A and B are shown apart, each in its own frame.
Chain A
Amino acid sequence: MSCLILAEHDNSLIGPATAHVVTAATRIGGDIHLLVAGSGCANLAGQAARIEGVTKVLLADSAQYADQSPEPVAELVAELVAAQMARYSHCLAAATTTGKNIMPRVAALLDVAQISDLVQIESEDTFVRPIYAGNALTTVRSSDAIKVLTVRMTAFAAAGESQAPAPIESIAILGTDAGAERKSKVISRQLTQSERPELGAAKVVVSGGRGLASAENFHQILEPLADRLGGAIGASRTAVDAGFVANDLQIGQTGKIVAPRLYIAVGLSGAIQHVAGMKDSQVIVAINKDQEAPIFQVADYGLVADLFDAVPALTEALGRTGSGVDSS
C-alpha cells in the first residue's frame, strides 16, 4: 500500500489543508509521497518534507503547473500513478475547490471512481462520506485497484512537524504534449484580503445571517467580536446572496465546511444547508431574536435577544475579562 498526495499551495506556501490529508493517509498506511506540482516552487519542497508522516516529496517544477490548472495537473498525477501502478494504491487531495477541480479528472483518466469528501477511513477500501448535505453518512467499498479520494479537512487533525525531513526527489516533467487549446488559462484572481485567520483553520468563527440586515451592520457588529476572539468571519447563504459579504465566506453545504472550537451564529436561522457546514464545531453559540429559529436546536448555548444589543455587549464583556480563546 502506498499513497500519493497532491499538495495544495500557492507557489510560496503549502496550504494548511495538506497536513490534514497527510493524517488521513497515515490511516491507510504504507509510504506517503507528497507531490508538489508548481512553478518556481523548489522552496516548497522543504516545507512539504517537514510534514510528519511524509516519506518522500516529489517535486514537479514547471510553468504549466503555476496556476494549478486542472488539465495538466490531473495528467501529471494520473501518469505518476499509472506509471507505477503497483506502487500507488491511493491518491489523495484535500476537498477544497482545488482538490475538487482536479481529482475527478484524475479518476476519469485512470478509469476509476472518485470518492468525495471522506470523513472516515474504515479500511484500505472502505470509506465514510456525507451525502444529502450531511443529513446522512454513507459507507462505501471501492472495487477499483486505485482509490482516488478527496478528504474533508475538518474530519482529520493536521499532521505535526517532523524533525527529520523526508527526502526530496525532482521528477521529470511528463507529457508536455497537451496543447494550449486543451487547457484552461487563468486570466486573473481576485482574492479576499484579510488579517483574520483562514475560515477552514480558524479556532473561532463568528458567522452572520440575514438578521444583520446590511453589509455595514455585518462589518460593524461582527468584526469587533471576531477580532476580540482572534476569529474568522463566516456567513449564511442568504447573507452572501444579499451582498453583505463575499461568496468565499459562505458556510454550508455548498460553501465552506468548518469545525472550530467555538462557533457563534448571529442573526441566522440555521437552515439545514447551513448547519451541514458547521455542526461539527465543538461549542456552538446562537444569538437570535426568534426563539423558534432552528439554529437553537444545534446550539450549546442559545441567547434569545436582539443581536444589535447582545453582540456589542458580548464583545465588551469578553474585552473586560481580557480573554481570548484558550489556544490549547
Chain B
Amino acid sequence: MKIIVAVKRVVDYNVKVRVKADESGVDVANVKMSMNPFDEIAVEEAVRLKESGLASEVIAVSIGVAACQDTLRTALAMGADRAVLVQTGVEIQPLAVAKLLKALCEKEEPSIVLVGKQAIDDDANQVGQMLAALMNWPQAAFASRVLVEGNVARVAREIDGGIETVEIRLPAVITADLRLNQPRYATLPNIMKAKKKPLEIVTPEVLGVDVAPRLKVLRVTEPPKRVTGVKVLDVADLVSKLKESGVVA
C-alpha cells in the first residue's frame, strides 16, 4: 500500500509576517521558511503507517520553487522513502495543486493521500477536499485519529461541537488536524540518509496540467489595529470600567 503525502514550504510558524508597503503581498524575502505544520503531522502519520507495517512506501510531494527540495528533504529525513517536486515559479492556487496531485495519483496509484488540513500562509483549507472530488474518492477531513484495517480507514474528525468518526474505503484522501499526532524531529543520521534518497523533479507541463490562477490578488493589507487599552487597578476598577463601556449592565 502506497501513501502520497503532500508538503508545502511556508513562512515559519514563529515568524511575524509583514505586509509589503506597496500592498502587493507579504514580505517573504530573508524570512525563515519551514514545512507547513499540518503537513508535518501528515508526514508523521504516513511514516507511522509504514512503521506499523500497513504501508509499503511513503512518497512525499511538494509543488513550487527549487527551494522546496529542502522541505522534501525534511520529509525524507522524517521517514518518507522518496520524493517528487513539481517545480514551477508561478503561483499555484489550491485547485491547481489538487490537479497536479491528481496527475501524480494517476501515475503512482496510492491507497491514501495525506495532506495537512490547511497551509498556514493562505489558510485556504481546500486541497484535500478538492483532490478527493477530482479523483471521485471519499474524504476524511480534519483527522484527529486514523485506524487502517485492510482497505478501510476509520477516521475521527474534529468538527464544530465535538468529534465525528467516519469510515472510508480506500483509496481516499485524509487531511490532518492538529491533534492527530506529535511529529518527530529528524535526527542527524536520518538527515544524512535523506540526502541519498531519490528526489525526482517534474513540471506542470510534463504532467499536462493547466495551472493558470483563477484568482487575482488585487492587494494585501494590514488588518485594522486594535488600540491598546488601559490597565485597571483591581477588580472593582474593572467592573466600573465595564459598566461605563456598557457591556455589563
Q: Which residues of A contact B (CB under 8 A)?
A: 69-71, 74, 96-98, 100-109, 111-117, 126, 130-144, 181-192, 198, 200, 229, 237, 240-241, 246-248, 253-254, 256, 261-262, 272, 279, 282-285, 291, 296-305, 310, 313-314, 317-318, 321, 323-326
Contact = CB atoms under 8 A, between A and B. Distances in A.
Contacts of A114: 94-95, 124, 126, 130
A325 B162 contact: no
B103 interface: no
Given A138-B220, A140-B217, A187-B165, A317 B159 contact: no
Contact of A237 (B98, B167, B178, B230): B178
Given A132-B11, A135-B16, A186 B215 contact: no
A139 B19 CA distance: 13
Given A131-B123, A137-B223, A181 B169 contact: yes
Nearest to B178: A254
Contacts of A71: 132, 138-139
B125 A116 contact: yes
Given A283-B245, A285-B238, A189 B164 contact: yes
A134 B141 contact: no
B45 interface: no
B129 A101 contact: yes
A155 to B, nearest CB: 12
Given A130-B223, A254-B178, A191 B162 contact: yes
Contacts of B141: 70, 100-101
B229 A302 contact: yes
B136 interface: yes
30 contacts: A97-B142, A105-B130, A107-B95, A113-B94, A113-B214, A133-B120, A136-B26, A136-B221, A140-B216, A140-B217, A142-B215, A181-B138, A182-B138, A184-B166, A185-B168, A186-B164, A189-B165, A237-B178, A247-B158, A248-B158, A248-B160, A248-B162, A254-B117, A254-B177, A279-B223, A279-B226, A285-B242, A301-B229, A324-B248, A325-B247
The SS class assigned to the B binding surface is mixed
A112 to B, nearest CB: 7
A183 B123 contact: no
Contacts of A191: 161-162
B193 interface: no
Contacts of A107: 95, 126, 130
B230 A132 contact: no
B248 A317 contact: no
A326 B215 CA distance: 43
Contacts of B169: 181-182
Contacts of B154: 187
Interface residues of B, number: 81
Contact of B123 (A111, A116, A283): A116
A285 B130 CA distance: 40
B132 A105 contact: yes
Given A247-B158, A256-B160, A261 B130 contact: no
Given A188-B164, A303-B235, A100 B125 contact: yes
Contacts of A301: 229-232, 238, 241-242
B89 interface: no
A137 B167 CA distance: 37
Contacts, number: 255
Interface of B: 11, 16-17, 19, 26, 93-95, 98, 117-118, 120-134, 136-142, 144, 154, 157-169, 172, 177-179, 214-223, 226, 228-232, 234-236, 238-239, 241-243, 245-249
A241 B216 CA distance: 38
B158 A97 contact: yes
A135 B221 CA distance: 9
A111 to B, nearest CB: 8
Given A98-B160, A241-B179, A283 B247 contact: yes
Contacts of B235: 303, 305, 310, 313-314, 317
Give the 3 A-B residue pairs with the shortest CB-CB distance, closest first: A300-B229, A104-B129, A108-B133
A187 B149 CA distance: 15
B139 A105 contact: yes
A303 B162 contact: no
Given A133-B120, A190-B162, A310-B235, 8 more contacts: A104-B133, A107-B130, A136-B19, A137-B220, A184-B166, A190-B164, A301-B241, A324-B249
A189 B162 contact: yes
A284 B162 CA distance: 26
B202 to A, nearest CB: 22
Contacts of B11: 132
Contacts of A262: 242, 247-248
Contacts of B220: 131, 136-139
Nearest to B227: A300
B163 A189 contact: yes
Contacts of A318: 239, 248
